[in-house]
Amino acid sequence: MSIPMPRPSRKNPILRTPQINLPPSARGRVALGLTAAAAEGRFELQVCEDCGAVQYPPREACGRCVSARVRWCAQSGAGQLLAETTLDHSNDLFFRERLPWRLGMVQLDAGPSVMVHLHGDVGAAPERVRVGARIDRSGQAVLIGFPEKESEHMADDKMLREMACDPRFRKVLVTDGKTPVGQAVVRALLKAGADLVWVGHAEPWKKASGVAELAALAKVALVPLDVSDERSVTELAGQIGGKVDIVVNTAELHRTFGINARRGTDVAKAEMEVNYFGLLRLAQAFGPALRGRSADGATHACAWVNVLSIYALANYPAQGTFSASKAAALSLSQCLRAEMRPAGVRVIHVFPGPVDDEWNQNMPPPKLGPAALASAIVKALQDGVEDVYPGDIAQEWLARWRDNPKVLERELAAGGS
């Protein structure tokens, strides 16, 4: 049974900051299918469409009938632990610093036998387990053997914490606390055990609703931050950049215009200034500090969360310029993910559907509540996933986009949502 993780001791400022070592990351193109599913929190294996065989490791063709018609399908992960061992020596730098490390061989009910990292709550073989796929510090999928029944403090397992970005005991920057989403994210992080939450507050002379209540909360500190002002971003990074473990970028400018509904480019420029250039300023100012602290003890810098929009995948003409700014932010965030990955810092993309706020008030339900979006963000950090699509609209939109993006484009142009 997992025990609660004790509060980590303070870092000794005299000691050098350790450098990151990553687990082995070499994967073939076919094996990246496992990573693609794990990035969204799913465990999938290849299934042959001709003979029905489930296979592992991934291959170009079915190992039973040699058919090339294999596709990735979700698996329950149920299986039997056949054997287990504890690794006390390793030539790999990543594992050598984290020994002892438990490994096991599991016979899945679906057929294949797989080698897994073992959660600390899993007992000695033989024992029923549940296999899941997680993204490791190198950004690749690995298999983990979990106990069949969950316990209260499972997330505090030392090995599992290496795979995730749990906000517990960590210091977090939420870039905009004026919006209902930003305020809900702050409360969700505190509930998850964050040690301190800095909350960005632009234009403090504007008395935004809920900000005073946030400032009164324990472990919350309002800080001046305007992502459209490079000086504001740079000054804050100089003050707290070396202490931040997680950045959650909730800063957003949302207007409901297409191209012909409004003359001029002022609104579109303002959206880009916050949604795209704001992210760029934050990444340039805070990114190097996060990379430098990615191996800094038990509460190392571990994650960057960008709240995007499902409209980033396909333009919603009724909110065309906003969609375009979020598409640009998605492209930039993919660059940020690539640059953060060598340091083991995970960049998480959140693609919500319409949020129940003032700029979506005329849209019919279902709409996503700020508290539900905040819960999805915290769960993504705890589970260590990369892409999250909260809400019914986002899930439906994603399914239609994956099925045929050109059809979705035509439906949206015809007024469908």
pLDDT tens, position by position, 218-243:
999 999 999 999 999 999 999 999 99
Structure tokens at 173: 């920057």
Find the mean pLDDT for residues 30-46: 96
d(CA 178, CA 200): 8
Q: Which superfamily, per CATH, for 171-413?
A: NAD(P)-binding Rossmann-like Domain (3.40.50.720)
Report pLDDT digits (tens) over 143-200.
999 999 888 778 888 888 888 899 999 999 999 999 999 999 999 999 999 999 999 9
Contact 15, 337 (CB under 8 A): no
Describe the strand order of the beta sheet including 303-307 as a list of residue ranges.
220-224, 196-201, 171-174, 246-249, 303-307, 346-350, 387-388
Residue 13 has pLDDT above 80, yes or no: no
Report pLDDT digits (tens) over 269-313.
999 999 999 999 999 999 999 999 988 877 889 999 999 999 999
DSSP secondary structure code for residue 121 in this structure: T
DSSP secondary structure code for residue 139 in this structure: S
Residues carrying CATH 3.40.50.720, the chain: 171-413
- Name the 3-class secondary structure at 84: strand
Contact 146, 122 (CB under 8 A): yes
Report pLDDT digits (tens) over 325-363.
999 999 999 999 999 999 999 999 999 999 988 777 777
Sequence-ordered alpha helix ranges (H) in 192-319: 211-215, 230-240, 266-275, 277-292
Among candidate residues 72, 32, 30, 57, the one with its CA nearest the CA of residue 114: 57
d(CA 360, CA 351): 16
Note if the bond before 167 is cis, omega within 30 degrees. no
d(CA 321, CA 373): 23
Find the mean pLDDT for residues 55-72: 95
| 266-275 and 277-292 helices, crossing angle to 10° | 10
